Structure 1
Amino acid sequence: MPTFDNVLVTGSQTIQQDLQVNGNETVQQHLNVNGSETIQGDLQVNGNQTIVNSLATGADVDAGGSLWSTFRVGSSNQPVLPGGGASLQQVRFYAAGVVSQPGLMLKGTDGLDYVLFIDVSSGTPSLAIQLA
């Protein structure tokens, strides 16, 4: 397998098999990998990156904009209940909401988009759902 110190691609780059980066990777535009991509350092994408199958990370995924998934965004770790007792809370639904409400957007069975967020307006955190 060829080894290069630096690779500069001024157009598009398509990789038909696997891409392995032992340092950091910065993508200014588009990167299309049809196989696997392994990055030992950081990945910074200033344009777009499309992942057809799965993205696994051992740390955080931080999106400055939206993070979209055709199926689910989830956590594989088992939740741990905090110490102390739980208090009975209700889920609050806001039929008319704030435009661009931050939160987790999910599609309902009616085909509409809903945003889940935490409402602490009453002083006690409650799960809130708003029509997006």
Structure 2
Amino acid sequence: MPTFDNVLVTGNQTIQQDLQVNGNQTVGQHLQVNGNTTIQGSLQVNTNETVLNDLAVAGSASVGENLNVTGVAIAGQQLKATNQATLPPVAPTVQSVRYFSTGIVNQPGLVLKGTDGFDYVIFIDNTGGNANIGIQRLT
């Protein structure tokens, strides 16, 4: 196998098998991978990254601004918002928490595991005109 100190590709390059980079790799424009990619160190994206199917992270994933997920985002331990909430400049109204023992399959919302080991989904119930927190046990 030939060995090169530097390779400059100014057009397109197609690699039929494996591309192994032991040091650092900088891609100025686009990197398209049609199969699988394994990164053993770090992946740093300075602008935008689109993943059409799955992105599995065994360690930590830090997102500086927004994480948009159209399916399900799973956090094994915690899902944190690090910015502190700010109270709106109006007086709050008295609300309640509404518990639904059964409900809709695949109810959208934030899923948390209860101390009983069951999963619960938390969502906003605005059926009476006032926003309430709804909690539904998932079966």
TM-score for the superposition, normalised by structure 1: 0.81
2:108 counterpart residue number: 102
2:59 counterpart residue number: 53
- The one-letter amino acid paired with 1:126 is N
- The one-letter amino acid paired with 2:43 is E
1:87 counterpart residue number: 93
Q: Decide which structure has greater strand share.
A: 1
Q: What's the offset of the Cα at 1:40?
A: 1.1
2:68 to 49, 62, 73: 62
1:76 to 72, 77, 82: 82
1:35 counterpart residue number: 41
Q: What's the offset of the Cα at 1:19?
A: 6.2
1:121 counterpart residue number: 127
Whole-angstrom CA distance in 1 between matches of 2:35 and 2:103: 35
Q: Which has the larger radius of gyration?
A: 2
> Contact (CA 8 Å) 1:94, 1:129: kept in 2 or not?
yes
Runs of 5+ unmatched residues, structure 1: none
Runs of 5+ unmatched residues, structure 2: none
Q: What's the offset of the Cα at 1:38?
A: 0.6
Secondary structure of the residue that 1:128 maps to in structure 2? strand
Q: What's the offset of the Cα at 1:35?
A: 1.8
With 32-41 and 64-73 compared, the bigger mean Cα shift is at 32-41
**What is the Cα-based RMSD across aligned positions, in Å?**
2.7
With 41-50 and 11-20 compared, the bigger mean Cα shift is at 11-20
With 40-49 and 104-113 compared, the bigger mean Cα shift is at 40-49
Whole-angstrom CA distance in 2 between matches of 1:15 and 1:107: 41
Q: What's the offset of the Cα at 1:27?
A: 4.9
Identity %: 28
Whole-angstrom CA distance in 2 between matches of 1:107 and 1:91: 17
The 1:82–1:33 alpha-carbon spacing in structure 2 relative to 1, beyond 3 Å, is same
Structure 1 runs (4+) deviating above 2 angstroms are 1-34
